[in-house]
Amino acid sequence: MRLTYTSDVWWKNAVVYCLDVETFKDGNDDGVGDFRGLTQQIDYLAGLGVTCLWLMPFFPTPNKDDGYDITDFYTVDPRLGTLGDFVEFMRTAHDRGLRVIADLVVNHTSDRHPWFKEARSSKDSPLRDWYVWSDTPEPDNPDQVVFPDKEDSVWEYDEGSGQYYLHSFYRHQPDLNVANPEVRDEIARVLGFWMELGLSGFRVDAVPYLIENVDPKLAEPHEFLADLRAFMTRRMGGSILLGEVNVAYKDLVSYFGDGLGDQITMCFDFIGMQKAWLSLARCDAGPLSEALRERPKPPKDCQWAVFLRNHDELTLDKLTEDERQEIFAAFGPSEDMQIFGRGLRRRLPPMLGGDPRRVKMAYSLLFSLPGTPVIFYGEEIGLGENLKAEGRMAVRVPMQWSPDGGFSRVEPVRAVPEGAFGPERVNVADQRRDTDSLLRWFQLLIERYRECPELAWGESTVLDTGEPAVFAHRCDADGATVVVAHNLSDTAREAELRLDGLGGCRLTDLLADGSTEVPDGGVVRITMEPHGCRWLRASRPDVAPEDASVKSR
């Protein structure tokens, strides 16, 4: 595939790196990360090979929900810097070729936002209809409560105005009424403001809650997403919306915009993520294979975003109770590792016991899955967790730059992991000097992923291997093919792959030296080490492997 073609639709084979400014690097020695500190680490991120940075909320906030309770959508939290610091960060990121997207959290505001203060001041307030009110709370459905450890209803009584307001999340986060045209217009202005400062798009928080039909006057909630996307395309043709849409595959396609692809540009594959963890727990490729075979093809120029961990709990809500318990038993047997009864509040390396082979295999699997990989900051060094922190904050720990921490010259506001995952054992400085480190492995995976556009653009086919523990698939695009295999078990396995159309080709290893010839019949046997991974590029004998991906014209 030609680079001039794939680069136009940059998000389809991007490498997205999610970070929290507050926990990445302190630039003014107050124990809190900020934009000045982040800017000084741009070369590190560019050197890692990531192509797009996703910033978690950096707006003014009372910080009751780690920044997701916002009081002003048009500026930067003073703890993290100024608008000037943000602009300098954006200029530096663009100079290094990095795109930047940011969290779009507009399904609610903080109850301290001036809009809500005005709205609750009187039933006759001009902003009253910017939120959702009711004289009597609608009957509660327990399934509607997102955080059952803190809330037992999605309605809260406002004594001042004598009505209930809707809050899909915490009671201090009243829902905005997106049925109101004025609210829609204001949200578009928020997008336009940050795009003028250089953002290439937004990660849309909790999309189903954003567009739920809260007003019968709003006939088609998806029209709102289409309107936002159209607005962004007019302002910047290459801008994107990355959607947090955790629903069943059959319900998810509409969030892309059905066949048009005119709503969410990329949707996270929550189903594939959960099935991947079930496969890892069982050492059985079956659940992941099933998910990929069932996963619908997104509309043209849309894409799946694939991940194994993110900044929230590792939700397992789409699995059965028995399947959840399997994963709990394998990766989080203690109650303090679990959350909401549906997920884990752990990072991947501790979940896998810090086993280097298993950890490297898991991340190889992530980067090879069809779609755009999204990684959480610190994954590239095996950053651990702090189970002493409350809830989801367990995984939102300070980045570890050196054996003494390196995040700040003073005590960080958030505690760092201890023990085997403490900074003296897990840090950037040491891993930069170690050719066998996880950091160097990430750099190799990103480099190879970017060299294999078939993984993101191609037609993906799950392969039968004859070994339940070996997951394999092939990706074909423009006459080029990449075959990938992963051994999910801790014992050596031999897989048999039927590669139709590749008889007589050579399979060249992309992660290590070596190659394998495919017999004329197209059936090849490959040896898999314990937790081994193979990325294999197919090429004809008269074509160099490095040229096999380029279609001649």
CA dist., res. 547 & res. 191, Å (int)? 41
Q: From the CB of residue 526, how many other CB atoms can be counted at a distance below 10 Å?
A: 20
On whether the CB atoms of residues 525 and 483 are closer than 8 A, the answer is: no
Catalytic residue of the set 20, 77, 103, 244 = 244
| SS3 category, 48 | helix
The full 3-state SS of 436-470, as one line of letters, equals CCHHHHHHHHHHHHHHCCHHHHCEEEEECCCCCCE
Q: With the CA atoms of 215, 216, 220 and 225 taken in that order, what torsion angle do they form, in degrees rounded to the nearest 10?
A: -10
Phi (first) and psi of residue 542, to 5 degrees: -95, 5
Which of 285, 265, 263, 267 has its CA nearest to residue 275?
Answer: 285
How does DSSP classify residue 211?
S
Q: Please give the DSSP secondary-structure letter assigned to residue 522.
A: S
Instruction: Write 434-437 long-range contacts (CB < 8 A, 24+).
Output: 437/381
Q: Pick left, alpha or beta for residue 79 (phi over 0 → left; psi -120 to 50 → alpha; otherwise beta).
A: alpha
* Contact present, 312 and 269 (Cβ < 8 Å): no
From the list 454, 281, 481, the residue with the least C-alpha distance to 367 is 454
Q: How does DSSP classify residue 175?
A: B
Tell which residue, 482, 480, 481, 483, has the closest CA to residue 472: 483
Distance between CA 424 and CA 538 in Å, rounded?
42
Asked whether 61 and 69 are in contact (CB, 8 A), the reply is yes
First-to-final CA distance of the chain: 11
DSSP at 547: G
Q: Specify whether the CB–CB gap between 32 and 409 falls below 8 A.
A: no
Query: Parallel, antiparallel, or unpaired for β 515-517 and 506-509?
Result: antiparallel
Q: Which of 65, 77, 103, 205 is catalytic?
A: 205
Assess whether 205 carries a catalytic annotation: yes
Query: How far is residue 109's CA from residue 101's CA, in Å, rounded to a whole number?
Result: 20
Q: Select from 328, 226, 204 the least CA-distant residue to 277.
A: 328
Q: Is 335 a residue of the active site?
A: no
Which amino acid, residue 391?
G
How far apart, in whole angstroms, are the C-alpha atoms of residue 1 and residue 328? 42
| Angle between the N-to-C axes of helices 438-451 and 356-368, in degrees from 0 to 180, rounded to the nearest 10 | 20
* Neighbouring C-alpha atoms within 13 Å toward the C-beta of 87: 7
Active site residues: 205, 244
